[in-house]
């Protein structure tokens, strides 16, 4: 592994991560906030439409975060090229059930790590240095999905790359997880709940993070710290699920 190869891979991944973010966040923003409210299904969570100044802030932090996420991913990729990770190409090496098991392990580990990191970042003496940038989006837009201060990005970026040295995983599973992470992050910061009531308010939704659930974190700060699942929030007494309460003058779309 050479420094040049790491730098080239980091640059390539930075571009890929940034373009993926812009494409997904931009598409959801256009479909939700650039259409007439009556044409958007679900429930509007943000009282106000995203302001240009806030979107510029979200874009700036997100694009800066892209290279921070790219660096550990590049190190893992270069290590894989030299046989230094547990990423495998032959599905038969571990069998089909392991594809699903490995995905579940990665999601649970990420969710657990993020829950406790998120609570730590809300400690008053640390908040302004690691998490305040994200919370400038009190009414987040889809572009807030990747809007992190540099230190927060660095604390988050290493988890999945580190896991490839510990837990065997197929590249297809990595691709699915990265896509899922991006989609959920964008939707959960969209300012709208586009998922149906039966899912958000049903038995499955009682354990999964949704836009409604995460929106409460952006307004209240002291609840709903999870990433994918509500299990840690429910176990630690930090789970809150608000009722549908559209802002004054708004109705359910």
User: For the segment 90-113, what is each residue's pLDDT rounded down to a tens digit?
Assistant: 999 999 999 999 999 999 999 999
Cα–Cα distance, 190 to 168 (Å, whole number): 33
Q: Is residue 243 part of a domain?
A: no
Q: Is the pTM of this model over 0.85?
A: yes
Q: Given pLDDT bands bounded at 50, 70 and 90, which one contains residue 244?
A: low
Number of domains in the chain: 1
Q: What is the pLDDT of residues 199-226, one digit of tens each?
A: 999 999 999 999 999 999 999 889 999 9
Q: Is residue 250 part of a domain?
A: no
Q: Is residue 170 part of a domain?
A: yes
| Residue 250 pLDDT | 40
Residues 142, 189 contacting (CB under 8 angstroms): yes
Q: What is the pLDDT of residues 146-205, one digit of tens each?
A: 999 999 999 999 999 999 999 999 999 999 999 999 999 999 999 999 999 999 999 999
Cα–Cα distance, 87 to 169 (Å, whole number): 5
Residues 58, 66 contacting (CB under 8 angstroms): no
Residue 37 pLDDT exceeds 90: no
Span between the terminal Cα atoms of the chain, in Å? 54
> Among 164, 165, 167, 185, which Cα is nearest to 228's?
185
The arithmetic mean of pLDDT across residues 10-22, rounded, is 96
Q: Is residue 247 part of a domain?
A: no
Q: Is residue 249 part of a domain?
A: no
- Helical ranges in the chain per DSSP H: 3-33, 52-81, 96-121, 124-130, 132-135, 150-157, 159-163, 171-188, 197-200, 211-220, 231-236
Q: What's the Rg (C-alpha) of the chain?
A: 19
Q: Is residue 18 part of a domain?
A: yes
Cα–Cα distance, 213 to 10 (Å, whole number): 34
Q: Given pLDDT bands bounded at 50, 70 and 90, which one contains residue 42?
A: confident
| Residue 38 pLDDT | 75
Q: Is residue 20 part of a domain?
A: yes
Residues 102, 163 contacting (CB under 8 angstroms): no
Q: Which range of residues forms the domain containing residue 107?
A: 3-236
Q: Is residue 118 part of a domain?
A: yes
């Amino acid at each position: 592994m050479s420094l040049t190869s790491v730098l080239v891979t980091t640059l390539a991944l930075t571009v890929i991560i940034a373009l993926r973010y812009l494409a997904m966040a931009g598409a959801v923003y256009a479909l939700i906030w650039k259409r007439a409210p009556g044409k958007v299904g679900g429930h509007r969570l943000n009282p106000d439409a995203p302001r240009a100044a806030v979107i510029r802030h979200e874009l700036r932090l997100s694009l800066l975060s892209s290279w921070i996420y790219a660096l550990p991913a590049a190190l893992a990729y270069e290590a894989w090229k030299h046989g230094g990770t547990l990423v495998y190409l032959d599905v038969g090496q571990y069998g089909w059930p392991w594809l699903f098991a490995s995905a579940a392990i990665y999601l649970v580990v990420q969710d657990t790590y993020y829950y406790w990191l998120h609570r730590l970042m809300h400690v008053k003496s640390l908040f302004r240095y690691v998490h305040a940038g994200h919370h400038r989006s009190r009414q987040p837009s889809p572009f807030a999905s990747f809007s992190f201060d540099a230190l927060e990005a660095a604390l988050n970026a290493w988890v999945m790359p580190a896991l490839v040295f510990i837990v065997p995983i197929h590249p297809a599973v990595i691709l699915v997880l990265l896509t899922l992470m991006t989609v959920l992050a964008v939707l959960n910061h969209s300012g709208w709940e586009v998922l149906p009531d039966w899912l958000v308010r049903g038995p499955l939704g009682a354990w999964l993070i949704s836009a409604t659930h995460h929106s409460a974190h952006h307004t209240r700060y002291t609840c709903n710290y999870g990433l994918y699942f509500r299990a840690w929030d429910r176990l630690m007494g930090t789970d809150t699920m608000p009722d549908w309460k559209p802002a004054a003058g708004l109705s359910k779309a």
